Chain A
């Protein structure tokens, strides 16, 4: 069974600084999809970025980028120029090539401090 692990329950960063959130996963499959979701206090889950495992190039979305290391089964999220609005819970998620459910990690609570 696939599992997703986020080893940092809480992190904090100063506004305008860069922070990296860690995620590792376990799977025996060769092709799959990885996602980062953000959950602000409003509770709504918002897709931040996604990565297809067969693509070598790391995905980027504005200030958000990933470091995808397939051999190490690592999928970290880098947030550049952190903003107060980035304060939220961040979840890493895995989805196999069949589609269906996403498997989520336990989350990392990020606080951006002024």
Chain B
């Protein structure tokens, strides 16, 4: 079946503009996660959803970052007034359940470049 789909795959934007990144999880997966990966770095947790609610949004770096999930499916990560330090690959993952043994399935990410 289809995997996690992210769009766009690449996004170049000017400093100060807003951007929206989209994630389509695997059908039936209830949990959805956003991570950020800066060049040569590990994965930095941003937020996760169980259904439409976000039990843990502790990783959002500032109030310029927000995310929502509607219908227990698609999620959008919005970055307002982008800064150059926001340049990174944004990865989305989903899992069948929230439980600890339920593995995360990742998309191919969106590479964001802020000029």
Contacts and interface: CB of A to CB of B under 8 A. Distances in A.
A99 B99 contact: yes
B42 A95 contact: no
Given A42-B108, A44-B108, A91 B103 contact: no
B55 A100 contact: yes
B21 interface: no
Nearest to B44: A104
A100 B55 CA distance: 8
Contact of A33 (B45, B91, B101): B101
Interface in A57-103: 91, 95-103
Interface residues of B, number: 27
A94 to B, nearest CB: 10
B93 interface: yes
B101 A106 contact: no
Interface in A13-42: 32-33, 35, 37, 42
B76 to A, nearest CB: 19
Contact of B98 (A100, A102, A106): A100
Contacts, number: 62
Nearest to A92: B42
B42 A32 contact: no
A35 B103 contact: yes
Given A91-B42, A100-B55, A107-B42, A45 B93 contact: yes
Nearest to B33: A101
B101 to A, nearest CB: 6
Given A44-B108, A45-B104, 14 more contacts: A35-B103, A42-B108, A44-B106, A44-B107, A50-B101, A52-B101, A91-B43, A99-B97, A100-B48, A101-B45, A101-B56, A101-B59, A105-B42, A107-B42
14 contacts: A33-B101, A44-B107, A44-B109, A47-B104, A50-B101, A52-B101, A99-B100, A100-B55, A100-B100, A102-B33, A102-B45, A105-B42, A106-B42, A107-B41
User: 5 smallest A-B Cβ distances: which pairs?
Assistant: A45-B106, A104-B43, A106-B42, A99-B98, A99-B100
